[in-house]
Structure 1
Amino acid sequence: MTSLIISIIALCVATANLTWQLALYLLNGPRIQVRMAVGAYGRGGLITVPVEKVADLNETFSSFERQGFSQLVLVVQAVNHGRLGVQLLDFGIDVPKGLSAKPVKDAITETPLPYVLEPHQEGTWAMPFEFGPELIRACRAVWPHEAHPIRGYVHRAGGKKIRSTRSLTLDLRDPESTS
């Protein structure tokens, strides 16, 4: 009888331990946060500003150009806040309806994809700004009476797409201004 009680207790402790290990694995895995920014290349570097901080896109781009940063870009930044690394396969921009654009040969980066984003590291990728207005034009051709906010995204291995929480809305009449 004592052996049975000890066996049952051992089984309960083993089950609790396995459950705890599984919970830790799920909670402490990679946690990717994606941010979108606008920016410009020039003078040997990249200057960016998060989309939520942009009041007037034309003024922001004019300021960049006055400082010698002339190649306008959309920037996608991914940060891994988790405890495990994760492989990122590609990046791009999309709209809530599902239409997306990703650079194939026009990506501007020093970090080639696929890329393993280690814990507490950040990856930054950029594409020419023209991708944004071109995506909006394609969306307006299909859904002419709707707004189309652009979000940055990264694809991680396994197929999961992680999008930025903030978006950028472009005015079609002037593709370089927010509405």
Structure 2
Amino acid sequence: MTSLIISIIALCVGIANVTWQAARFLLEGPRIRVLMKVGALGGASLVSAPVENMKSLDETFASWSSQGFTQPVLVVEVVNKGRLGVQLVDFGVDVPKGASVKVIEGVITDTPMPYVLEPHQEATWAMPFEYVVNFANACQATWPRETLPLSAYVHRAGGKKVRSARSLTLKLARTQGDSS
């Protein structure tokens, strides 16, 4: 009976140890979160707001434009809450069907890619909003009967893609040939 009790205690200690090792592995690495925001540039300033707070993009951009923020942009903000740095290779916007767009020229940032995001730091990149609209139009032409949500993403070194939890769906005018 004593050996059974000792075996059960050893099993419990072993399971606790494996669980602790798995938790440390997950918590000590880089943990990045991607936030997608809508913004506008004006002079040397950037104003932005999370996509989930947008009621009407047209009204938001008009309001910001009247205050001097005249260039609409899509902002990708990345926060590293982990204990290790992570190298970010590029950023862009994609849809669930697998299509994506990334900016090769015209990136609006002081932080060039690739970039090492250190622990407990954040970085911000932006692209002209017209690129997002053009991409949404291309997706609508490819999949005319579907409304696809746009998500921001960053690629980590090693190939892992991390997407924003929130997405943006643009309401575009239907093409002339579309009967629905």
TM-score range, shorter chain: 0.7 to 0.9
Q: Give the match for residue 44 of structure 2.
A: 44
Q: Per the alignment, in what secondary structure is the counterpart of residue 141 of structure 2?
A: helix
What CA deviation, in whole Å up to 9, does each residue of 1:34-61 have, x standing for no partner? Answer: 0100101113111101100111111110
Give the partner amino acid of 1:116: V
Q: Give the match for residue 160 of structure 1.
A: 160
Give the ranges of 4+ consecutive aligned residues of structure 1 lying more than 3 Å apart after TM superposition.
Answer: 16-23
What is the RMSD of the two structures over their aligned residues, measured on CA atoms? 2.1
- Structure 2 gap segments, 5+ residues each: 1-12, 175-180
Q: Aligned equivalents of 1:50 and 1:94: distance in 2? A: 17
Q: Give the match for residue 87 of structure 1.
A: 87
Percent identity, aligned pairs only, is: 62
Q: Give the match for residue 115 of structure 2.
A: 115
Displacement of 1:171 in angstroms is 1.3
Q: Give the match for residue 134 of structure 1.
A: 134
What CA deviation, in whole Å up to 9, does each residue of 1:18-43 have, x standing for no partner? Answer: 98556423332111110100101113
Q: Aligned equivalents of 1:18 and 1:147: distance in 2? A: 44
- Structure 1 gap segments, 5+ residues each: 1-12, 175-179
User: Contact 2:27 / 2:83 at 8 angstroms: preserved in 1?
Assistant: no
TM-score by length of 2: 0.83
Q: Aligned equivalents of 2:83 and 2:62: distance in 1? A: 40
Q: Aligned equivalents of 1:17 and 1:133: distance in 2? A: 51
Q: Per the alignment, in what secondary structure is the counterpart of residue 91 of structure 2?
A: strand
Q: Give the match for residue 64 of structure 1.
A: 64
Q: Aligned equivalents of 2:45 and 2:128: distance in 1? A: 15
What CA deviation, in whole Å up to 9, does each residue of 1:148-174 have, x standing for no partner? Answer: 111110000110000001111111119
